Amino acid sequence: MPSMNRPMRRTRLGLLSLLALLTGAPSPTWAQAPAALKNQAKAAAAKAQAKTAQTPQTQELSDALKAPRPKGGEYFGLYLMDKKVGWFFTDLTVLPGNKAQSINELIFKAQVGTRVSERVHREVRVYEAKPGGKLLSFTVTQRGDGGDNELVGTVTGDSLRVVRKRPGQPDEMLKPMPLPKETVEDADQARVALLRGQKVEGVALDGTDLEGYRTVTTVEAPEEQVLGGVKVKLSRVSTLSDKEKVPVAAFLTTDGKMVRVDFGQTMQARAESESVAKRMDLVEVFGLTRVVLPKPLPAKAREVPGQVKLVMKNLPEKFQQDTYRQKYQRLPDGRVEVTLIAAPPSPKGRVARPVADPDGGENLKSTLAVEADAAAIKAQAKSIIREEKDAYTAARMLSAWVYSNLQKDYGASADRATDVLRQKKGDCTEHSLLTVAMLRASGIPARRVDGVIYMVNSDGVPALYWHEWVEAYVGEWTQLDPTFNQPVADATHFYVGYEGNAEITPLIGSLQVTDVK
């Protein structure tokens, strides 16, 4: 169990991004392939078509199934800052009855404090095998960190029906959802683009939130690399998802084998044999991903009101947006000085609940994870705040209840608010998830915040560790930290994004703090 003196940020940051791009969703693609590569792809396609003609098919196969790929699927080792933290397997095959099946499985394993955390995520999807073939069904299975959970989806008539299954719990039929727009080509956009020699666009149904996201794959200039001591030319392709918003570069051989995928500068997937892929390092991720400071933060950083200044290096310009808590000043040498500010919301700005969402309702939604409409969530929130009308007072009451009633336990993670409420234990993500769900259930717009928080761990090194807390709209935005019982998150919190925003993953291992003021 990790020390209670450190943030318990679940180290899933970026892994679900990888999952959405490579496991059960579009893979990186080519376009504008070199002439030789196009000719080879066309020859392979013609061979596949000839083979198909000899089998009892009643319709043409999708390009996703015609394209060449390694037989039996592909295994990859997953590396974070050159340390192996997991592996994944992916395959796409033809089934009898003019159907196709994609199988994608990811295993993540790392040491967090004194415990070993392991997450298994497996997706099986079935499509029509014809060009533009529809997604017909899927099974998403998750075990380990985050809780055991299975989603079984089936297209029925004009809607998608999903059943959620959990050990020891009755099966739950979710509300009917719109038909998914994902097609069989979206199961392997990379090889489809190679076969067609052009950019590919599609929609991927995310296996974690069941929302559809536009995904585009394009080709970049090929590169020469050394594989097994031999210099070879590889196609370099790029994928961009509207959810992840992080360009992912993949490198492929002329016969359709994907040899490497780069997720920014610090995360990488490498093609390996099954036995090598499953051989993992035991990495202590808190120490690996922390941002070491040149000196401790001053005491004023923990005061409310309070503030502190950090001089940062390698912070991309898109993150340098002034907010009510963070102000940026660019320095001549390319670094940036950020002022972190903590203050309670103005009494004059506070309003009674229910509160209108300034973002049009997004921060009041009930989702697969933030189950604000669940009866248990609503009942618990009401029992805490009762008839309290002031939104900020109610928000503080909910946050304080979560702090007092959730056991700090990394090994009891859960990805659904109702599971957190039932278990009453978890790390910072569970504290934030349950708080946000109850805030929304109480008519208070809220969202989970990702960033880093200041800690001096047992080794005595002052550093920023990845963490998650809460932002609520109570007439103006304010931040609370239910993990540490802070009704105003102090100035040791540096925000970089919101939960599920993979844009922050390139900061891991890259962001540096050169001075503290």
Q: Are residues 391 and 498 in the same domain?
A: yes
In 3D space, the residue among 488, 494, 507, 438 whose CA is nearest the CA of residue 468 turns out to be 494
**Are 261 and 193 part of one and the same domain?**
yes
Residue burial 257-284, b: 16+ Cβ < 10 Å; e: rest: ebbbbbbbebbbbbbbeeeebeebbebe
Write the DSSP string, 441-482.
HTT--EEEEEEEEEEE-TT--EEEEEEEEEEEESSSEEEEBT
478 touches 472 (CB < 8 A): yes
Residue 247: the pLDDT is 85
87: domain range?
Answer: 16-32+60-278
Q: What is the dihedral of CA 167, 172, 176, 177, to 10 degrees?
A: -30
Cross-strand partners of 137:
126, 154
CA separation (Å) from 47 to 44, 57, 188, 190?
Answer: 5, 15, 19, 19
pLDDT at res. 146: 78
| Phi and psi torsions of 128, nearest 5° | -70, 140
Does residue 238 lie in a domain region?
Answer: yes
Q: Report the number of secondary-structure helices (H) and strands (E) in the chain.
A: 10, 25
Residue after which a domain boundary falls, among 249, 278, 307? 278
Q: Which two tokens stand for residue 11?
A: 């180290």
Judge whether 8 lies within some domain: no
Co-location of 314 and 346 in the same domain = yes
Given 278, 308, 327, which residue is the final one in a domain? Answer: 278
Is 55 part of any domain?
no
One domain, residues 248 and 383 = no
Quick one: 347 exposed, middle or buried, by C-beta within 10 A (0-12, 13-18, 19+)? Answer: exposed
Q: Quick check: 174 and 153 in contact, CB under 8 A?
A: no
- ∠ CA 497-116-208, rounded to 5°: 45
Number of domains present in the structure of the chain: 2
Residue 9 lies in a domain: no
- DSSP state letters, 96-107: TTTEEEEEEEEE
Report the pLDDT value the prediction gives residue 54, as an integer from 0 to 100. Answer: 45
Domain match, 97 and 179 both: yes
Q: Is residue 371 part of a domain?
A: yes
d(CA 146, CA 415): 5
Residue 194: predicted pLDDT = 81
Which tokens sit at 221? Answer: 């200039």
For residues 383 and 474, state if they share a domain: yes
Q: Tell me whether residue 11 is in a domain.
A: no
**246 and 311 housed in the same domain:** no
pLDDT number for residue 412: 63
Do residue 475 and residue 390 come from a single domain?
yes
Residue 348 and residue 265 share a domain: no
- Token reading at 203: 């929609």
CA 263 to chain centre: 12
Q: Are 440 and 395 in contact (CB under 8 A)?
A: no
380 & 454 share domain: yes
Q: Please say whether the beta carbons of 224 and 231 come within 8 A.
A: yes
Whether residue 76 is found in the same domain as residue 211? yes
Clarify whether residues 329 and 250 are in a common domain: no
Q: Do 113 and 410 contact (CB within 8 A), yes or no?
A: yes
289 domain-assigned: no
* Residue 210 maps to a domain: yes
Could you tell me the CATH number of the domain that includes residue 356?
3.10.620.30
- Per-residue burial over 113-152, b if 16 or more Cβ lie within 10 Å, else e, is beeebebbbbbbbbbbbbbebebbbbbbbbbbbbbbbbbb
pLDDT 10s per residue in the chain (517 long)? Answer: 233 333 322 223 334 433 332 222 333 332 333 344 344 444 544 454 444 444 444 579 999 999 999 999 999 999 988 899 999 999 999 999 999 999 999 999 887 767 788 889 999 999 999 999 999 999 999 998 778 889 999 999 999 999 999 998 899 999 999 999 999 999 999 889 888 989 999 999 998 889 999 999 998 888 888 887 888 999 888 888 888 788 888 899 988 999 999 887 788 999 999 999 999 888 888 788 899 999 999 998 999 999 999 999 999 998 999 999 999 999 999 899 999 999 999 999 899 999 999 999 999 999 999 999 999 999 999 999 999 999 999 999 999 999 999 998 765 678 899 999 999 998 899 999 999 999 999 999 999 999 999 999 888 999 999 999 999 999 999 999 999 999 999 999 999 988 766 677 778 888 999 999 9
pTM (2 d.p.): 0.82
Q: What is the pLDDT of residue 293?
A: 96
